[in-house]
Structure 1
Amino acid sequence: MDLPPRPTLFDFHGVSMTKYFTDNWDNVQNFKARPDDILIATYPKSGTTWVSYILDLMHFGDKCSDRETSIPIYLRVPFLEICVPSLESGKDLADKLTTTPRLIKTHLPVQFVPKSFWENNCRIIYVARNAKDTAVSYFHFDRMNHVQPEPGDWSNFLQKFMQGKMVFGSWYDHVTGWWEKKETYSKLHYMFYEDLTEDSGREIDRLCTFLGLPLSAAAKEAVRTGVTFDSMKQNTMTNYSTILIMNHNVSPFMRKGKVGDWKNHFTVSQNECFDEDYNKKMKNPTLKIRTEL
C-alpha cells in the first residue's frame, strides 16, 4: 500500500490531534458500547499493547488458541478512534467484534471518551507510564510510524512533549484527568507500567479481581509467561510487524520495554529542565509515578 502522508497537528477542542484520529469523530462519539465491553485507555506508548494482550489471554487464551496465532492483536483489540484511508476504521473493527467481552483500546483523554461507555457502566482499565520513558518511547515511535507527525530531533521533540504538542495532547493532562475520574467512576482500574514491570503476576491478580475473573493459578502463569516483553517482541501477532505504515527498520514497534531507559536519552540539563517543568505541571500530589525501579 502507499504510505499515508504524515499529518500535521492542530488544536481540537483544546487537545493537539491529527486528522487520523478526528476524521471519524462523529461516528466514534456515537459508538454504542455494551455493558460487558472492556475499554483499555492509555496515553500513547504507555503499555497499551501489553495490557491488551494480557486481557486477551485472560479472557480467550484457553478458549480460542488459534485466535492467538492467526489474528493480530490490533484486530482482536481495535483502536477505536483511528481512521486511516485504505484501512478499516477502528470504530468499524470494534463494531464487528464477535467476542464477549469486546476488548477495545483508546488513547483519548477522559473528556473525549464516547458517552455510551459511561452510560453502560463499562469496566475501564487505564495504564500510566512515567513521563520520561513515555517521551523516549513516543520519540522512537514517531520516527517509525507514518501516521504520526515528523518528530524532528530528540531535543526539539522533548520540548514539544513538555508543551503538550503531541498527538492526544499533554501527558500531564491525560494521566491526571483519568486519575481524577476514578474518584467518581468506580469501574475504573488505574494501573502503572512500572508496577507491571516490577511484578506482572501481582498485577494480573489485581486485574482478575477487578474483572471478576476466577482464573486458576496455572492459567495466570500461562498469561504471565505469554506476555513477557521478549516473547511479545518475537510474536508476529503482537509486535505489529504486519502493519505496513510502520517502518521497523527505523525503530522496532517493541523496542526495549524497560523502566529507566530515559537515562540513555536525557542530558543532565534536559533532565533538570524536565524535572522543574514536571513539578509545576503535576498539580495532583496523590499521583506518583516512579521513573526507576
Structure 2
Amino acid sequence: MALDLEKIKKIRESLEPVPLPEHDGVCYPSFLPFREKGAEQALKDITNFQSSDTDIMICTYAKSGTHWINEITSMLIRKTAELDNKDKATTMLETISDFSVTDDLQSPRLLNTHCQFRYLPKGQIVQRGKIIHMIRNPKDICASYYYHSRKDNIFLSFFGTWNEFFDLWMSAKCAYGSWYTYEKGIEQAEKDYPCMIFTCSYEEMKKDTERELKRLADFLEIPCTESTLEDIAKATSFQNMQHHKLDSTKELDGKGFIYRKGEIGDWKNYFTVAQNERFDEQYTERFKDSTYKLTFE
C-alpha cells in the first residue's frame, strides 16, 4: 500500500488542472484514464470491464458516504472490525487505467464508482452482481462537494467561491453531473432488477448504525453476531476513521479532506436563505415522483 500512496503522490505532482472531460453533456473528474483516453472511451472501458459473478459494486453519487460504506462492506466481507489497509481510490473504476490490476484482488472483489447506472460494467448487470447504493441529503452533498472541489483542484479544476459552486451544482455542471439524474437512474434500476441493489441512507446509517449493518449483512448473505456488528459500528465511526483510516489525500496538504466532518446538516453553514429556497424549489420539482425519502435536518 505504501507503494500505491507513493504512486498517487507522484501522479498528483506531475499533473496540472485541465478542463473537466465531458461526454453526453456530463463532466467528469480529470482522472488519468479520462485524460489519456477521453471521457467517452473511459466510460466505454468501464462498461466493458470484465466482471466476476462475485463482484460487489458500491455505487454512489460523489460525497454520499462512499468511503464509509466501502469500509463497512470491506469489514463485513473480511469478517473483521480492523480497518482495511487499502484506499478506496485504488478500486475506483474511474481511476484505473489498466483493469488487469483488479485480477489480483481477492474474491469477492469490492469495487466502487460514481458513474451513472447506465455505465456500470455490463457483466455486473447480466450476472446480477450485488450493488450497494448509499443515498444522502443532497444539500449536505453540495456543501461537502464544494469543500472537496476546492481541495482537489488537480482533478476537479475548481478554484471558485461557494456561490459559484452552488450555481454549478444547480445547473448540473459539476463533475458527475446531475444528482437527480444519478439517483433516478438507480431508482429505476431497482425496479428493473429486483433484489440486485441494496439502498441505504447516510442519515439512517448515522442514526442506527448496527441496525443498518444488519440489513447490509443480510443482503450480502454474511452471517454476523451482534457483537461483530457492534465492533464494526465502532470501528467505522467517523472519529475512528478520521484518525486511523488511510487517506491518500493527506499527500496534498498533510491533513487530507476525505474525512472532514461527516455531519448531518452541515449545509446550514453554507446555504443562504435565498439559495435554500432555490434548492427546495428545484428538489420539489425534480424529485417529486421519487420513492426515496430523504432527511433534511
Residue in 2 aligned with 1:123? 130
User: Against the structure 1 CA distance between its residues 28 and 259, is the aligned structure 2 distance closer, same or farther, given a 3 Å change threshold?
Assistant: same
Residue in 1 aligned with 2:235? 226
Q: Structure 2: which 5+ residue stretches go unaligned?
A: 1-9
Residue in 1 aligned with 2:87? 73
CA–CA separation in structure 1 for the residues paired with 2:28 and 2:198: 26
Which residue type is aligned with residue 22 of structure 2? D
1:229-278 CA distance string (max 9 Å, x none): 000000142x3355x3x4455x6221110110000111111111111122
Instruction: Work out the percentage of aligned pairs sharing the same amino acid.
Output: 30
CA–CA separation in structure 2 for the residues paired with 1:202 and 1:151: 40
Which residue type is aligned with residue 269 of structure 1? A
Q: Contact 1:143 / 1:150 at 8 angstroms: preserved in 2? A: yes
Q: Contact 1:208 / 1:214 at 8 angstroms: preserved in 2? A: yes
Which residue type is aligned with residue 134 of structure 1? I
Q: What's the RMSD between the two structures over aligned residues?
A: 2.1
Residue in 2 aligned with 1:27? 45
CA–CA separation in structure 1 for the residues paired with 2:249 and 2:122: 33
Residue in 2 aligned with 1:86? none
Aligned residues: 277
CA–CA separation in structure 2 for the residues paired with 1:289 and 1:90: 37
Structure 2 residue matching 1:147: 3-state secondary structure: helix
1:61 to partner: Cα distance: 4.3
Residue in 2 aligned with 1:277? 282
Which residue type is aligned with residue 182 of structure 1? E
Taking the TM superposition and a 5 Å limit, the aligned residue runs for 1:212-251 are 212-237=221-246, 239-241=247-249, 244=251, 246-247=252-253, 249=255
1:152 to partner: Cα distance: 0.9
Structure 2 residue matching 1:34: 3-state secondary structure: coil
Q: Contact 1:80 / 1:106 at 8 angstroms: preserved in 2? A: yes
1:286 pairs with 2:291: yes
Q: Contact 2:17 / 2:155 at 8 angstroms: preserved in 1? A: yes
CA–CA separation in structure 2 for the residues paired with 1:82 and 1:219: 32
Q: Structure 1: which 5+ residue stretches go unaligned?
A: 84-88
1:182 pairs with 2:190: yes
CA–CA separation in structure 2 for the residues paired with 1:7 and 1:90: 22
Among residues 148, 164, 169, which one is paired with 1:161 in the alignment?
169
Q: Contact 2:30 / 2:156 at 8 angstroms: preserved in 1? A: no
Structure 2 residue matching 1:182: 3-state secondary structure: helix
1:14 to partner: Cα distance: 3.3
Residue in 1 aligned with 2:4? none
CA–CA separation in structure 1 for the residues paired with 2:116 and 2:186: 7
1:105-158 CA distance string (max 9 Å, x none): 000111111211101110000111111000000001111112112141000100
Among residues 202, 208, 211, which one is paired with 1:199 in the alignment?
208
CA–CA separation in structure 2 for the residues paired with 1:27 and 1:241: 26
User: Against the structure 1 CA distance between its residues 155 and 191, is the aligned structure 2 distance closer, same or farther, given a 3 Å change threshold?
Assistant: same
Residue in 2 aligned with 1:108? 115
CA–CA separation in structure 2 for the residues paired with 1:151 and 1:61: 42
Residue in 2 aligned with 1:13? 24
1:288 to partner: Cα distance: 2.2
| Bigger proportion of residues as helix | 2
Q: Contact 2:213 / 2:229 at 8 angstroms: preserved in 1? A: yes
CA–CA separation in structure 2 for the residues paired with 1:285 and 1:124: 20
1:51 pairs with 2:101: no
Larger displacement relative to structure 2 (15-24 or 216-225): 15-24
1:224 to partner: Cα distance: 0.7
1:10 to partner: Cα distance: 4.5
1:150 pairs with 2:149: no
- Give the alignment's TM-score, normalised by structure 1: 0.87
User: Against the structure 1 CA distance between its residues 213 and 90, is the aligned structure 2 distance closer, same or farther, given a 3 Å change threshold?
Assistant: farther
Q: Contact 1:176 / 1:287 at 8 angstroms: preserved in 2? A: no
Structure 2 residue matching 1:40: 3-state secondary structure: strand
Among residues 167, 170, 176, which one is paired with 2:178 in the alignment?
170
CA–CA separation in structure 2 for the residues paired with 1:212 and 1:62: 16
Structure 2 residue matching 1:39: 3-state secondary structure: strand
Q: Contact 1:139 / 1:151 at 8 angstroms: preserved in 2? A: no
